[in-house]
Amino acid sequence: MASDNGLGIFLTGLPAPLAIEFATRADAAGFRSAWFPEITFADSFGPATAAAQKTDRIALGTGVVGIWSRSLVTLSLQAATLHQLSNERLLLGLGVQARGYVRGWHGQRYRKPVTAMREAVTILRRILARERVSFEGEIFSVKNFGLDMEPPARPAKIYVAANGPKMIQLAGELADGMLGYFHSVEYVRDVVVPNLRIGAERGGRSVEDVDVTVGFPSVLTRDDSGIELAKGQVMMFATALDSAPAYLESVRAAGYADAAREIGERVRAGDSRGALAAVSDEMADALTISGTPENARRRIEAYRAAGLSGVMLNPSPPGGWFPLYEGHFPDSMLAQIPPFDFPGFMRVLEVTVEELAA
């Protein structure tokens, strides 16, 4: 199985062959987990399954699969198959995703996200435990389904993507792990850990039973330039109110409420240059894991001290930013989106895997 260094890597925005290659390299470098997001560039299960055949010990995460993106029966079949083919290394990351994805892309009704996640986790855990399941919920229903597969020695672990207090509490109550994103140290300390504890107590267990992980935009460079080059990521997430309002609360918890207000005003005015200028070096450092490998290690230790058991790096294109959903940025800003710096992105990936090896 994977090492216990708590360090994971998101393989985002890569063609599937490159995602598989970097999962293999992360495995050799001692990363605990590799996560395969599912948005517009690949599904999670295909690359993760291929990576399972080329790796030995790294945990393979779906980071994350939307609970409305396919039936829960189909999701259980894919998860059980990947768990089997990976020698039981699956981390099943589940999320409710943004309303626009659910409604516009999947044609599903986005409603009561905490209730929906509770039902999804309950159904999937029972199916993956090889129960024959009939469940009639408020959001999801399954009638008389069971997997005709041998029970695993180690059940697949279920991680809930959680940013706001109620979903964090649900993760603490039901999940094996929580996967947050863009959380400041202060937000982890003052919001994440206390709400996980509330949920864990509700579920009759300890918060230590939950793998507390958060993902971070990360622009690692061999000099200090990565801090400047990560500011577009901060602008994106600090203004993504329709995706996850908790991102803004994370910014405020870190002491940057005034800066966030100015960034939001600049974005609404279509002024991308002004919005980026409002992100100070200190703010970019506080909300991403960027800059030199030495700085990244310092930040990782700060998060561990705040209560995280896992830090998930999401190597990001240097200087890059883009809308996270339809209507995120005004039309006047869309023409200002910088071109994707693929060579720079590959350099960031190289530095991340090479310099943060266990």
Q: How many CB atoms lie within 10 A of CB 284?
A: 24
Going by the DSSP 8-state scheme, the letter that residue 2 receives in this structure is -
* Domains of the chain, residue spans: 7-233+289-355
Give the integer Cα–Cα distance in Å for 79 and 72: 10
Give the integer Cα–Cα distance in Å for 310 and 212: 6
- Which structure tokens are listed for 59? 């945990």
Pairing of strands 211-218, 90-95: unpaired
Pairing of strands 7-10, 33-36: parallel
Confidence (pLDDT) at 355: 96
pTM here? Answer: 0.95
Q: How far is CA 193 from the centre of its chain?
A: 17
Give the integer Cα–Cα distance in Å for 229 and 290: 9
User: Burial code of 192-217, b = ≥16 C-beta within 10 A, e = fewer?
Assistant: bbebbbbbbeebeeebeebbbbbbbb
Going by the DSSP 8-state scheme, the letter that residue 209 receives in this structure is G
Give the integer Cα–Cα distance in Å for 240 and 250: 12
Question: How far apart, in Å, are the Cα atoms of 16 and each of 22, 28, 40?
Answer: 10, 19, 12
- Residues with Cβ within 8 Å of residue 112, at least 6 apart in sequence: 138, 139
Q: How far is CA 265 from the centre of its chain?
A: 27
| CATH fold label, 7-233+289-355 | TIM Barrel (3.20.20)
| Residue ranges in the chain whose pLDDT is less than 50 | 1-3
Contact 321, 235 (CB under 8 A): yes
Confidence (pLDDT) at 241: 87
Number of H helices, E strands in the chain: 17, 11
Confidence (pLDDT) at 1: 43
Give the integer Cα–Cα distance in Å for 358 and 349: 16
Strands (E), the chain: 7-10, 33-36, 59-62, 65-66, 90-95, 133-136, 141-145, 157-161, 177-181, 211-218, 310-315
Angle subtended at Cα 247 by Cα 243 and Cα 249, rounded to the nearest 5 degrees: 130
Give the integer Cα–Cα distance in Å for 311 and 180: 10
Residue 30: what are its φ and ψ, rounded to 5°? 95, 10
Confidence (pLDDT) at 40: 83
3-state secondary structure of 160: strand
pLDDT tens for 129-162 read 999 999 999 999 999 999 999 999 999 999 999 9
